A and B are shown apart, each in its own frame.
Chain A
Amino acid sequence: MPKNRPRYLNLKEIKQPIPAIISILHRVSGVLLFFPGIPILLYSLEMFLGSLQGYTEIRFIFELPQIKFSLIALFWFFTHHLCAGIRHLALDLNYGLRLEYARNSSKMVLVVGFFITLFFGVMIW
């Protein structure tokens, strides 16, 4: 196969449509949920259920502002991944395949993810 095939895509120069942004954020949030997401989940669960001492300690740690910010960020990865995933399931079932629907549902994923995260942030603060 010739190595000097022409390349038509320059990712830095083309402007990504919103479904593409949602899609790449789905991947990025997925990776971040794998790491550090799962280790944090396991650590918190062990502290939470392991002993009364651990429970008190993790409650204290979760009260620290910088930890709260990280938790909110992690929660956003989760909600975005969830919302974009539900959108994917709908697309797999042939719902919302038309371009304008696909664009609108992408915007909805961003907006819904943002507001659920905002709600979570206000709740834990």
Chain B
Amino acid sequence: MVKRIVIGAHYGSRDWLVQRITAVIMIFYVLLLISVILISAPHDYVAWKKIFGNQWIRITSLLFFLSLCWHAWIGMRNILMDYVHKTSIRLTTQILIILSLLFYIVLFFETLWS
């Protein structure tokens, strides 16, 4: 048997798995949201407001959005690692992506719970 020596930061396989788990969560959420909208067929503001006023919809929506942000982070980081080789530019872009995703999460939370 060949002894494989794994080098590096060891977050690769974890992130690979996280990206797939968050993808599956998002697929289920999209199917759920489509069914809810098809069943209740909202036609005005009050009806839409009522759908997203439901506590379960809010919780699953937040779970979806957190999955989306984590998924996006891993994807963007992978792309940057593949194509941007200058450390300073890559690091700056990565920090900007993290900050914007954190900002988005706060905005999303604020939109749903107000």
Could you list which residues of chain A lie within 8 angstroms of chain B, going by C-beta atoms? 27, 30-31, 33-34, 38-39, 42, 45-46, 48-50, 52, 55-56, 82, 85-86, 89, 92
Report whether A27 and B107 are in contact in the complex, using a CB–CB cutoff of 8 Å: no
Q: A49-B52, A55-B45 are in contact. Are A42 and B75 (CB under 8 A)?
A: no
Q: CB within 8 A of B72: which of A38, A48, A55? A: A38
Which residue of B is nearest A45, CB measured? B111
Interface string of B29-60 (1 = CB under 8 A from A): 01000000000000001001100100000000
User: For the complex, what is the distance from the CA of A86 to the CA of B26, rounded to whole Å?
Assistant: 11
Could you list which residues of chain B lie within 8 angstroms of chain A, going by C-beta atoms? 20, 23-24, 27, 30, 45, 48-49, 52, 68, 72, 75-76, 79, 97, 104, 107-108, 111-112, 114
* Minimum C-beta distance from A106 to chain B (A): 18
* Minimum C-beta distance from B107 to chain A (A): 5
Q: A27-B79, A34-B76, A48-B48 are in contact. Are A42 and B20 (CB under 8 A)?
A: no
Contacts of B49 in A (CB 8 A): 49
Q: How many A-B residue pairs have CB under 8 A?
A: 46
Other than the given A30-B76, A31-B75, 9 more pairs (CB < 8 A) read A30-B75, A34-B75, A38-B68, A38-B72, A45-B108, A52-B45, A56-B45, A82-B30, A89-B20
User: For the complex, what is the distance from the CA of A52 to the CA of B48, rounded to whole Å?
Assistant: 11
Which residue of A is nearest B16, CB measured? A92
* Minimum C-beta distance from B71 to chain A (A): 9
Contacts of B75 in A (CB 8 A): 27, 30-31, 34
Contacts of A82 in B (CB 8 A): 27, 30
* Minimum C-beta distance from A54 to chain B (A): 9
User: For the complex, what is the distance from the CA of A89 to the CA of B52, rounded to whole Å?
Assistant: 30
